[in-house]
Structures are given as C-alpha cells and as structure tokens.
Amino acid sequence: MKAESYTGRINRKLNKKLRIIEVAAGRQPADLVLKNATYVNVFSSRLCTGDIAVAEGLIVGIGSYHGRTEADMTGKLVLPGFIDAHIHLESAMVAPREFARAVLPHGTTTVITDPHEIANVMGTDGIEYMLQATEGLPVDVRFMLPSCVPSTPLDESGAVLDFRSIDSFYDHPRVQGLAEMMNYPGVVAGDAQVIEKIVAAQAHHKKIDGHAPGLGGQALNAYMAAGVYSDHECSTLEEALEKLERGQFIMIRDGTAAHNLEALLPLLTPQYAERCMFCCDDKHPNDLLENGHIDAIVRAAIRRGVDPILAVRVACHHAARYFLLNNRGAIALGYLADFVVIDDFEHFNILQVYKKGELYFDGKTVRDFPPPAVDPYLVRLAHDTFRVGALSAEDFAEIRPRGVIGIVPGEIITTDCGYAAGVDTAKDILKIAVIERHKNTGHIGIGYLQGYGLKTGAVATSVSHDSHNIIVVGANEADMAAAADRVVQNKGGIAVVENGAVKGEVVLAIAGLMSDDTLERVNTALESAKAAAYSLGVGHDIDPFMTLSFMSLPVIPTLRLTTRGVLDVEKQQYI
C-alpha cells in the first residue's frame, strides 16, 4: 500500500477537524450522543449534567446535541475511562489482546506497562513483540522502557540492556519514559551505567518511574535528585509521606501480589491526592476475573470512606496528567471519548464501557476485535526461549549448609532464617533452586525455603522475577528435577509434581510467561494447579506460584535466590 504523503495526511486531518467543529457547533449530527448524562467533572470535582456529543472518537460537545447513535444515560453516572499507572501485562499470563478483553469490562481504557518481564527473557525483541502485540487494541497500551535488565548485575537474565539498547524506542509514539528504576542502590551509589539510563531518558524529555521500597533520608534525596519522579512501592503512610513531601508522585498499588491501599488511604484526601495515582503492578487471572482491575481499587476506596469523585479523579485524571497524556482522563472537549458508565457510587456496577466513542462492553459481553499483527519472526522467537538440558536429582545435591529464605505471608519481602544442611519437612524447611534457562550455562543456585508448607513433591515455574529462570521448590531432588523438566517440555509455565507424576500444570509458551489461550482457560488450569499444590501441603495463606516467583527477585529484602546462590539483598552479597 502506497504511503500517505505529508499533504495527504494534512488534508485528512483538516477534514476531520472541520467535521469536529461542525458537530460541536450543532450543524451536523454527532456519531454518538450520551443523552441526559450525569458525569464526573474532574476539573471542578462535582457532578455535571448534559448531553455528551462524540465525533471522530473525541468529545466535541457538552450541552444539547443529537447524534446518529443516542444512548440515554438517565439514572446512571458517566466517568472517564480508568488508567492503570503501572502494570506488567505479562503478570496476567495471557497475550495482550486477551488482557484487553479481560480489563475492558472493568472500565480500564489505558494502561502504562513496563515490559521488563519479557525483556529479561528476549531483550529488545521482547519489547518489540509487546509493542506490536498491543498495537490498535481497544485498551490503549503505553510503555515505559525497562530500566533494569537484569534487575541487578548479580542476576542472570536472557539479555543485558544498557541505555544504548533501548534508546531508539523513545521515538515510538506510545513510549512515555523509563520504567521503575529498581536498582536504587546503584542510583544512590552513583553507578555510571545506571545513571546514564536516567540521563538518556531525560535527554528525550521522558518520565522516569521509581521502585525504592523503604528508601528514606539522604539516600532518598540522592535517588530523587537523580531524576526519579514516582514510586509505587510504598507500604506505609510514613514512607509515602516522606516521598510525597519531597516531590515524588505516589502510585497507590493494590494488585495481586501487594496490597497497599489500606495503609495509604489517608493520602486520598484533598491535601495529598493530587500527587497520587492508582496502579496494580501485577494482576493474575483469578484476580482479574473475580475482583476486577482499577475499578476494584476505586470501589474499595469509596467503601472505606474516600470521596467518590476524588477516587475517580485518582483513577484517571492524575495518571493522565503525570504521563502527559493530555487528551484523556477527563470528560471534556477535545478529550478521547473513553467512558465508564456505572449505576451509582454505592454499588459501582459497570454497565457500559466506551473506547473512542465505540461501545466495547454492554454490561454482558465484550465486543470482538481483531488480534494485532505481530511479525512471524518475533512470534517464533517468543515461543522458543528455553536453553537448558535435561535435569536429574544429582543436579540439586549440595555438600554444605545453605541459607534459609523465610517467607512472610501476604508480603514479597523475606527474612533470614539462618542455615540448613538438608530438607526437614517437620520444620517446614524445603530445598529451593534456580536454574539458568536462557543460555544453557548449567548454573543452578541452591538454597532452602521456610514457610512454604510443602510436605511432598515439588513445584516449578518459569515465572520467576525478574530474570525468569526456572525456580523450583521441593521435598526431594527427584521431583524437583521432574517438575523443572516438565516446565521445559511445555516451553514455559508451572508444574506440580509428586513421585514423578504431574498433578497440575499451566502452559505458558510465550516467553515462558504468557499463554496463547483465553484468560478463562488459563485461570481454570491455574486454579487446578493451585489445588494440587495445596494438596501436597502448601499453606493456604500463600499463593503457591506467585510466592515462589518472587523468591528470586534480587532487589527486595532480605534474602533471595539466584542462579549463583542465596543473596543477601541489603548487603548485595552471596551467603
């Protein structure tokens, strides 16, 4: 197809603009009119009324209008589409198109994603895969470029991305900036290779998001002075206030792995809320299906006494302003016609969702939409990411005591539980290993885990933050080898094994992180695998797979396991 000329593009946009003016002036009918709408005005923080006219995907009039399609909003409330300020799409375990289908019924029309999960597996090819796989979806997917691949130099991932590797992506129209700077010790220490990523992002006039749990005092000063604008890791009000008062924006996170809304509720007042946004960070299939997305956070905030209009503003307008998405996050002239129609603030049932004036959720079903076209070469790469040989029980043998990582239920932090020389299920001490799977190095880090509860068998997964090697925990080495081998055979996913037999599994063949299947079927497999893990003794107070996946994240205190062994995160030393 012949490329459109500059003159042709200008003429096309001119004609579009002229039609917008004609509709706004009442001289032509709108494409869509939401009649008798009571809507949230995020600028005046009050409910306003009027017909909302839409043309060319934009809000072009508020007042009295007629359109080719009219929908009566009497007795309903119209809100701007919700924005998730920070999420990893890979956490939903499905392809981006399926993620969009899952969140549309919850009123989400824009998300800001950090593709560092797939980038740790595939490098820049992973970023390009996600850009192509999200093009044209009815949920607008904006990107922050991965800042830490791997998360620290002490880890082994499938790629190492310096600032030069990602620099060209800043020119992409859907790239907003540099994603969560997890290597805050490197920033504070003035590590040149870390700081040059910040400098490069600033050279492109882009945002830089933060990730600095517990950081305060002069170390926080150094981190912020380097140019980090936000944080989504605050778990206490004191921490959030220190960061907010010094100038950071606070992303109030409530997802599957971490729940910070309750602790940070006092921020949702006129005094502080202007500096706040909502985000999920990670959302697993069951959580999306049973609880929802950003709508669940808004609903919970209102239930806890937060002013409903303020909660809605935090759910849309504040993130739009922060990321300079100046045409969304409000019901106002010239803004995208992204609407969430609810019954009322008390029940907060979502009745309809519009994206650019098109109805995508009618209260029962999601309108179908075509999958984005992805380069076949990238598809092949994404389905061939394992480079690891067959494993045996002998690969998990040890000749000396190893560090014991203690699980904290409901948290992703861990504790230092000393040393162990072998499995002791009576004391809930299990063997844990991380197997390098990207380059067939043969590296296997071995340690022990306390608090998981497994009595027999083994559990393995290729979802192991952030490098996504294979992590496996077990009561014996033979089942550990069998579970890890099953993950490799499936080209990624989760396996629960007892006495060599597979008791439950989830196939995640896209980079070992996502499935080609529907969210519902992935969730069914996931819940079945969870039941199998619980039947082998895993404690019901933890998620068997999500908990395991974070045991290898070497930027969260206290102890973690990488392919090189048990790491003391605070000291950045192996023990």
> Token digits for 199?
């400098």
Q: Rounded to 5, what percent of the chain is helix, strand, coil?
A: 35, 30, 40
CA angle 18, 20, 23 (to 5 degrees): 110
114 to 26, 145, 179: CA distances (angstroms): 42, 6, 6
Helix (H, G, I), strand (E, B) or coil at 344: coil
Quick check: helix, strand or coil at residue 313? helix
CB 51 within 8 A of CB 61: yes
Residue 217's pLDDT is what? 97
pLDDT of residue 119: 98
Alpha-helix residue ranges (DSSP H) falling in 370-518: 376-382, 477-489
Residue 564: what pLDDT? 95
Residue with tokens 């003794």: 537
The pLDDT of residue 399? 86
CB 53 within 8 A of CB 61: yes
Report CA Rg, the chain.
24
Q: Which amino acid is at 484?
A: A
pLDDT (tens digit, 0 to 9) for every residue of the chain, 575 residues total? 567 898 989 999 999 999 999 999 999 999 999 999 999 999 999 999 999 999 999 999 999 999 999 999 999 999 999 999 999 999 999 999 999 999 999 999 999 999 999 999 999 999 999 999 999 999 999 999 999 999 888 899 999 999 999 999 999 999 999 999 998 989 999 999 999 999 999 999 999 999 998 999 999 999 999 999 999 999 999 999 999 999 999 999 999 888 999 999 999 999 999 999 999 999 999 999 999 999 999 999 999 999 999 999 999 999 999 999 999 999 999 999 999 999 999 999 999 999 999 999 999 999 999 999 999 999 999 999 999 999 999 999 988 999 999 999 877 889 999 999 999 999 999 999 999 999 999 999 999 999 999 999 999 999 999 999 999 999 999 999 999 999 999 999 999 999 999 999 999 999 999 999 999 999 999 999 999 999 999 999 999 999 999 999 998 889 999 999 999 998 889 99
Contacting residues for 332 by C-beta, under 8 A, at least 6 apart:
41, 42, 43, 59, 62
Q: In Å, how far are 85, 110, 245 from 309, measured between CA atoms?
A: 18, 19, 24
CA distances from 347 to 210, 299, 308, 377, 466 (A): 34, 8, 11, 47, 38
Pairing of strands 249-253, 470-474: unpaired
At a CB cut-off of 8 Å and minimum separation 6, what does 398 contact?
A: 421, 431, 446
- Alpha-carbon distance of 130 to 169, in angstroms, equals 12
Query: Three-class SS of residue 537?
Result: coil
Residues 95, 519: Cα–Cα separation, whole Å: 9
Name the one residue in this structure whose structure tokens are 């995020």.
Answer: 42
What is the arrangement of strands in the sheet containing 573-574, beginning at the earlier edge strand? 559-562, 565-568, 573-574
Structure tokens that stand for 63 in this block: 């007042």
pLDDT of residue 572: 84
* Integer angstrom CA distances of residue 113 from 116, 184, 209, 267, 293: 9, 20, 11, 24, 14
* Number of residues in the chain: 575
Q: What are phi and psi of 145, to 5 degrees?
A: -75, 140
pTM of the model: 0.95
User: Residue 71: left if φ>0, alpha if ψ -120 to 50, beta else—which one?
Assistant: beta
Q: Do residues 493 and 539 make contact, with C-beta atoms less than 8 angstroms apart?
A: no
- The residues pairing with 59 across neighbouring beta strands, listed in sequence order, are 54
Per-residue confidence (pLDDT) for residue 153, from 0 to 100:
84
The residue extents of the domains of the chain are 384-574
Residue 257: predicted pLDDT: 83
Task: Indicate the SS3 state at residue 114.
Answer: coil
